[in-house]
Structure 1
Amino acid sequence: MAKVLIDEVKIQELLTRGVENIYPNKEFLEQKLKDGAELRVYLGIDPTGPDLHLGHSVQLLTLKRFQDLGHKTILVVGDFTARVGDPSGRDQRRIPLTEEQVEENEKKYKEQIGKVLDLKKTEIRHNGDWLGKFRFENVLELASKKTVQQLLDRDMFQKRIEKGEPIGANEFLYPLMQGYDSVALEVDGELGATDQTFNMLVGRDLERGYLNKEKFVLATRLLVNPKTGEKMMSKTAGNYISLRASPIEMYSGVMALPDEAVFEMFELCTEVPMGKISVLKSESILKAKQDLAFEIAKIYHGEKEAEKAKDEWSRVFSKGEYPSEMEQVERRRLVELVGIVTQDSSSSAKILIDQGAVRVNGEVRKEWNFMPEAGDIIQIGPRKFVKVKK
């Protein structure tokens, strides 16, 4: 058992940095942290795709703060719930994943999570271990814990009803399934993004009902543009910076973000002290953004690679030169090549080409069937470069 630290500065940072709400209240969790007993705290993630993004880093860094204080951190891989699909924030039904897809995504998730958390100090569990053993009588008992009216109160369900869109019975049960994770693990607390608050509070109610135990819930802020209120990292919209991105993709992705988001991201996505962030506000926004891009690239790739990314960005995006290293791709029709590189559908590739977002050797090409030559450099969007194999 790790020694639990009672460090006032670190405790206050945990209670405030990137935090939207704490249930039942901040004082409840603060007292638990100061009591010195080891807390069992979990974060649940459904492996619904290969990528985690900077939005997820907010929860990972918060869980790391618990870990750094010596508490027991648990990562629950939603291998069972991923095959249902979380309806949170969705006005359409998710497409259920196969078991094979879930397993492949989980492997990639662990690689990315291990760049923030010490996996040797992290207990990794799968909710299929308990949900997969449920008998129908267990499902009925669990379903009896909430009313239809309580579940229908969710805004995404109300939007679907207004649009005449279907709501699957499995989606109805999702908050109860996620909530039961807390019961199965007998945790002291759960953390997650604020759009998971409903599900996490269901878990709080279930743990009280099944175990007579009070669980705290820590809801972190979403990564949004402070000027527009729009989410900056969304898998659904496809506008995110993956934690699997290369150093230059990560660096240049941050540099492409709106200026008003810089200090929000410093607070939520890095461990730079808040005092230093305040000092950066007095410098030029370009300097601050470069420091942010470097810091984020350093977290996921190390200082040496972050330095290379900084130099590469200056050369490619400031001076208009090509990257020194590029992915090599097989020669094929432009629409096929774009689809493979972006890992997207043929129709999405055609849209990119039609919009003039694809260049061959610096010239915009809008012919879907154009056949590049060996050695040609293909640019897709502002940051992605590939070279046709010779």
Structure 2
Amino acid sequence: MESITLTNDQEKEVQRQLDLYMTGAADVIPPEELRNKIAKSVTSGKPLNIKLGLDPSAPDVHLGHTVVLNKLRQFQENGHIIQLVIGDFTGKIGDPTGKSQARKQLTDEEVQHNAKTYFEQFGKVLDQDKVELHCNSKWLKTLNLEDVIELAGKITVARLMERDDFEERIAMQKPISLHEFFYPLMQGYDSVILESDIELGGTDQHFNVLMGRHFQERYKKEKQVVILMPLLEGLDGVEKMSKSKNNYIGIDEHPNDMYGKTMSLPDSLMKTYIHLATDLEPAEKKQMEKDLESGKLHPRDAKMILAGTIVRMYHGRKAADAAEQHFKRVFQQNSLPEDMKTVIWDGEKPVPLIELLVTIGLFSSKSEARRMIQNGGVKVNGEKTDALHTVITAEDGMTIQVGKRKFVQLRVNG
């Protein structure tokens, strides 16, 4: 490895950046190369290229995505170049990571819509004016068959079969389509084209991001460093945060919903969210963790600090204060929200509760409404209703509550 001579001030700056980037990371591959890249940047004044690849399979950004975005922001704040790579070409294949079957291939329209939505929401974390936005179709579409064969010739089938998801699918005798093998190849080729110095990803992207190092070496480029960030567990405290599992907090959600969801977190996730999902200073995070462990800070109070911080990060201080007051009023003082949604009811006044819940849009199906009623999650005028065949008389001003955060007030015609 190239030896770089540093002044005392340069050495301090290198160490400062190294500590910053490694804090919270699940793995850095390899850490000594990260230090060397930072040192070259500090001495030359040339910023590093920091890559994040995005497979635009779903347009909603949630807190799980921001774990990596917050790390990107640290690089951005130190003057480095952020390379956001929209997989508008690879997205048509679909990342096979963690999948027991082939992903649905997206259309051009779906990819473009999702990519636009992603970038707009990322602006809540990153300075968009200082981000390079790349669509990998720009270079991947230009590859001819000879180029593709050359690319495929730079990796072995045995290496590709190291992927856990491929091994599992073979063991379960589930098919693997040939095109799925090309996903990690193309992601690695993105790093060759962009000459990325560092690539970020979640720990579930371990195989894919290492492909960048592999192909850069095979194309005689300087190899990128890989920084893997932990996966944020969702509200259930078990699975990783995902919209499909309905255990997520979206960064575009209403402040009241964002605050309420955060308050529903299991106590066991408090430290994880404080460290991975907030922009608090390292000293503040450590102090909160220390106070939680000693009992000086009650978990409920820590959650309120956490909820307020998360809302403030994406909606501003004023919205965070209003969300806190809303939560206290509704959930701690058992009063109704001031901004409760009003629904006009002009149907039959004696109506089965299940039918009413679906008709006014609180549930998309009767089976969903039935499950919530059985679980005691429906209140009419503040009274829990758990009988499936309940018939109610719709009255003007009647309030219906579903779960902890959904409130509707009826306005009855006639």
TM range, smaller chain: 0.7 to 0.9
| Structure 1 pair 182–334 and aligned structure 2 pair: CA distance change class (3 A) | farther
Structure 2 CA distance for aligned equivalents of residues 161 and 330 of structure 1:
55
In the alignment, which of 206, 225, 246 is matched to residue 238 of structure 1? 246
Q: Which residue of 2 aligns with 1:209?
A: 218
Q: Which residue of 2 aligns with 1:31?
A: 36
Q: Which residue of 2 aligns with 1:17?
A: 23
In the alignment, which of 124, 128, 134 is matched to residue 119 of structure 1? 128
CA deviation vs aligned residue, 1:129-157 (integer Å, no higher than 9, x gap): 22223322222222222222222221122
In the alignment, which of 310, 316, 330 is matched to residue 302 of structure 1? 316
Structure 1 CA distance for aligned equivalents of residues 359 and 55 of structure 2:
30
**Runs of 5+ unmatched residues, structure 1:** none
The root-mean-square deviation of aligned C-alpha atoms, in Å, is: 3.0
Structure 1 CA distance for aligned equivalents of residues 405 and 126 of structure 2:
29
Instruction: Give the conservation status (yes or no) of the 8 Å contact 2:14–2:35.
Output: no
Structure 1 CA distance for aligned equivalents of residues 365 and 51 of structure 2:
36
Helix, strand or coil: the match of 1:19? Answer: coil
Matched, 1:108 2:130: no
Q: Which residue of 1 aligns with 2:407?
A: 385
Structure 2 CA distance for aligned equivalents of residues 354 and 79 of structure 1:
44
Structure 2 CA distance for aligned equivalents of residues 248 and 126 of structure 1:
35
Matched, 1:322 2:344: no
Helix, strand or coil: the match of 2:179? Answer: helix
Helix, strand or coil: the match of 2:219? Answer: helix
CA deviation vs aligned residue, 1:344-382 (integer Å, no higher than 9, x gap): 778666655664544454444746999977765444433
Helix, strand or coil: the match of 2:82? Answer: strand
Structure 2 CA distance for aligned equivalents of residues 211 and 330 of structure 1:
67
| Structure 1 pair 82–258 and aligned structure 2 pair: CA distance change class (3 A) | same
In the alignment, which of 241, 265, 278 is matched to residue 257 of structure 1? 265
Structure 2 CA distance for aligned equivalents of residues 134 and 349 of structure 1:
52
Measured after TM superposition, the shift of residue 203 of structure 1 is: 1.4
Structure 2 CA distance for aligned equivalents of residues 341 and 128 of structure 1:
41
Q: Which residue of 2 aligns with 1:52?
A: 61
Structure 2 CA distance for aligned equivalents of residues 377 and 297 of structure 1:
27
Measured after TM superposition, the shift of residue 107 of structure 1 is: 2.5
Structure 2 CA distance for aligned equivalents of residues 151 and 329 of structure 1:
55
Task: Work out the number of aligned pairs and report it.
Answer: 382
Q: Which residue of 1 aligns with 2:206?
A: 197
Structure 1 CA distance for aligned equivalents of residues 367 and 88 of structure 2:
30
Instruction: Give the conservation status (yes or no) of the 8 Å contact 1:6–1:33.
Output: no
CA deviation vs aligned residue, 1:15-52 (integer Å, no higher than 9, x gap): 322201111x2121122213313101111112211211
Alignment of 1:50-89 (within 5 A): 50-89=59-98
Measured after TM superposition, the shift of residue 5 of structure 1 is: 12
Measured after TM superposition, the shift of residue 341 of structure 1 is: 6.0
| Structure 1 pair 137–122 and aligned structure 2 pair: CA distance change class (3 A) | same
Instruction: Give the conservation status (yes or no) of the 8 Å contact 1:5–1:70.
Output: no
AA in 1 matched with 2:278: T
Helix, strand or coil: the match of 1:50? Answer: coil
In the alignment, which of 281, 285, 305 is matched to residue 277 of structure 1? 285
Measured after TM superposition, the shift of residue 83 of structure 1 is: 1.9
In the alignment, which of 228, 247, 256 is matched to residue 255 of structure 2? 247
AA in 2 matched with 1:290: M
Structure 2 CA distance for aligned equivalents of residues 389 and 47 of structure 1:
41
Structure 2 CA distance for aligned equivalents of residues 82 and 156 of structure 1:
18
Structure 1 CA distance for aligned equivalents of residues 115 and 395 of structure 2:
38
Structure 2 CA distance for aligned equivalents of residues 49 and 255 of structure 1:
26
Helix, strand or coil: the match of 2:206? Answer: helix
Alignment of 1:84-233 (within 5 A): 84-224=93-233, 230-233=238-241
Structure 1 CA distance for aligned equivalents of residues 254 and 75 of structure 2:
28
Q: Which moved more, 1:39-48 or 1:135-144?
A: 135-144
Helix, strand or coil: the match of 2:51? Answer: strand
Bigger Rg over Cα = 2
Structure 2 CA distance for aligned equivalents of residues 372 and 109 of structure 1:
42
Q: Which residue of 1 aligns with 2:7?
A: none
Q: Which moved more, 1:80-89 or 1:252-261?
A: 80-89
AA in 1 matched with 2:225: F
**Runs of 5+ unmatched residues, structure 2:** 1-9, 292-296, 348-354
Instruction: Give the conservation status (yes or no) of the 8 Å contact 1:75–1:122.
Output: yes
Q: Which residue of 1 aligns with 2:49?
A: 40
Measured after TM superposition, the shift of residue 57 of structure 1 is: 0.7
What percent of counterpart residues are identical?
Answer: 40
Structure 2 CA distance for aligned equivalents of residues 164 and 200 of structure 1:
27
Measured after TM superposition, the shift of residue 183 of structure 1 is: 1.4
| Structure 1 pair 153–54 and aligned structure 2 pair: CA distance change class (3 A) | same
CA deviation vs aligned residue, 1:242-297 (integer Å, no higher than 9, x gap): 11111111111111111121111111111212221222231222211111111111
Structure 1 CA distance for aligned equivalents of residues 75 and 259 of structure 2:
28
Measured after TM superposition, the shift of residue 171 of structure 1 is: 2.0
TM-score, L = length of structure 1 = 0.87
Measured after TM superposition, the shift of residue 236 of structure 1 is: 3.5
Helix, strand or coil: the match of 1:251? Answer: helix
AA in 1 matched with 2:406: K
AA in 2 matched with 1:210: Y
